[in-house]
Amino acid sequence: MSVDGEVARVASRQHALVTRSQLLEMGIGDGTLRHRVRVGRLTAVRRDVFAIPGAGTTREQVLLAAVLAHGSGAVLSHASAAALWRLPNIDHEGIEVTSARPHRVRLTGVTAHRTVAFLAEEHTVRDAIPVTTVARTIVDLSARLSTFQLGVMTDHALRHNTLTLTQLRRCVGGLHPGPGRRTSCIHELLEARGHGHDPGDSDLELRVLRAIVAAGLPEPVQQHWVRLPKRRFRLDLAYPEPIKLAIEVDGFGPHATRTAFDADRARANDLVVAGWTVVRFTSASSDDDVAATVAAALAQLGHKAAS
């Protein structure tokens, strides 16, 4: 395929947009890029984001350009995400983007947010635009809207099958209240709609997961199944082979009986025999303790793998 054909192929999946980094991967250097812009073969729309001329400007293109300009991992969020999901109670013309970058990118007409604990399950793609899930969007808007308004938004999403209460419960689980976020509102509307707890899930488990991600460590797999010669069981969090690091989160309730205590220890022994490293955390473990322990374990296992 020619370079022009590759540019067209990539742009066709991105509302007629292509980024500087994508062009570089195709072999189009900065000098050639400047020439293409100068002669009208590309149009600069945002920093390091270019459009194919003649494709026409759409609202989706404008939104995606703002996301792409924030770099890899950025997503449409907050009120802009709610509008993309067509949720009620939103009348918003601006653009809001969330990224994990340490420094916000300043773009005209765009409000930038930063997160240090974005889980993979909290963002997706809609209309070819990276965006926060409905659950994360509702949580992000919890300080702007009343509990009643959030409830109307939640019920709308439930009716249109873009949200489940389990997804919302998981999203708020382990999150601390913070600027722009009132977790008490989310817990209140969940309480009003019944519990239906997901077995194996807990706020503690999600807090540990968020602490790991916030420390800049790779996100472990949740509820990972392990098959050993004589048994099969599920780990709370895990880095599977070749690392084989098991992360067990011990809430007091599920581990309070002697039977459960003994079973947990037997399971840990089986994992060690099978070559796994096991680390355990409880409600007394601070986020810093979690991050430091997992980082040290990963470093040690990485060293072993290299030796």
Q: Which amino acid is at 14?
A: Q
Q: What was the pLDDT predicted at 198?
A: 41
What is the pLDDT averaged over residues 142-167? Answer: 93
pLDDT at 252 over 60: no
Domains, the chain, with CATH or none: 3-55 (no CATH), 62-192 (no CATH), 203-306 (3.40.960.10)
HSE-CB of 245 using CA atoms within 13 angstroms? 21
pLDDT band at 262 (very low <50, low <70, confident <90, very high): low
| Beta bridge mates, 129 | 126
pLDDT tens track for 168-222? 998 988 777 777 889 989 999 998 887 543 433 457 888 899 999 989 899 999 8
pLDDT tens track for 109-147? 999 998 877 888 999 999 999 999 999 999 999 999 999
Q: What was the pLDDT predicted at 251?
A: 67
Q: What was the pLDDT predicted at 69?
A: 95
Q: What was the pLDDT predicted at 233?
A: 83
pLDDT tens track for 275-291? 999 999 988 899 999 99
pLDDT band at 36 (very low <50, low <70, confident <90, very high): very high
pLDDT tens track for 5-28? 899 999 999 999 999 999 999 999
Rounded Cα distance, 304 and 62, in Å: 48
Rounded Cα distance, 236 and 231, in Å: 16
Q: What was the pLDDT predicted at 81?
A: 96
Q: What was the pLDDT predicted at 265?
A: 73
| Cβ neighbours for 118, distance < 8 A, ≥ 6 positions apart | 73, 98, 100, 213
Per the structure block, which two tokens stand in for 214? 């916030």
pLDDT tens track for 88-114? 988 777 899 998 766 667 888 999 998
**Which range in 31-40, 109-118, 267-276 is most confidently predicted, on average pLDDT?**
31-40
- Residue in the structure block whose two tokens are 């773009």: 107
